[in-house]
Amino acid sequence: MRQYIDRSMSFEEYVELIDRLLADGKTTGNNQSDAMVGYGRLNRQRMARLEKTIIQDEKAREQLEANTRRQIWLVITEGWCGDAAQNIPAIEKAAAASDLIETRYVLRDENLELMDQYLTGGARSIPKLIALDAETLEVLFTWGARPAAAQELFSERKAQGIDKPLISEEIQRWYNADHGVSAQREIAELVASVRDSTAAAANN
């Protein structure tokens, strides 16, 4: 895991990379079609809007403030991904609640060997958050690529044979109504469960 952290980016570096590529008419990843670059522009706009408007969930903040373990949240992502654009601001907001949590970013298509260890239903779905103990690099938990309710909606619509563009539109409407709350709360619950299990082990 150390090699992935060594080649990872901060959130600011990730955003700068996206902006630099878009300025050259490109996006991250191997597919540089006009459609993918268009998705890159759209989702950069979404992420920028959410960076300014997303509100830190109070319940999640309380759980994250109680965190006592230094963690690195390694996030697998791409700039063109709609789920990443919606969830990364929520991940950043959650991490900001604890001084002991640092976020780092790697691109999926440049790190497929890592991505393939953390598939979702057999797919290379992103974003994928891998929470690591900052000292030992033990994997504490993983999260992604979507909040549970959004993933359930996606799976239901896919099983119904609905075209992917229509599913994506419905998922985006779900995100717009959720305001990043579900992602923050689910991640905070995972942090709390790690804290509780560590405390229980220490007492045994």
Concatenated DSSP letters of 9-69: B-HHHHHHHHHHHHHTT--SSS---HHHHHHHHHHHHHHHHHHHH----HHHHHHHHT--S
For 62-84, what is each residue's pLDDT tens digit? 999 999 999 999 999 999 999 99
For 83-137, what is each residue's pLDDT tens digit? 999 999 999 999 999 999 999 999 999 999 999 999 998 999 999 999 999 999 9
| Tokens 């952290």 sit on residue | 5
Residues 6+ apart with CB under 8 A from 165: none
Quick check: pTM over 0.85?
A: yes
Evaluate the omega torsion of the peptide bond into residue 199 and state whether it is cis, within 30 degrees of 0: no
Decide if 24 contacts 17 (C-beta within 8 A): no
Q: Cα dihedral sign for 29, 35, 39, 41? A: positive
Helix axes 82-95, 58-65, angle to 10 degrees: 50
Extract the runs of DSSP E, i.e. beta strands, from 78-185.
Answer: 101-107, 128-133, 139-144
Q: Which of 78-82, 157-161, 191-195 is least confident?
A: 191-195
Distances (CA, A) of 155 to 50, 151, 177: 25, 6, 19
Domains of the chain: 2-199 (3.40.30.10)
Q: Which of 128, 146, 150, 138 is nearest to 198 (CA)?
A: 138
For 32-73, what is each residue's pLDDT tens digit? 999 999 999 999 999 999 999 999 999 999 999 999 999 999
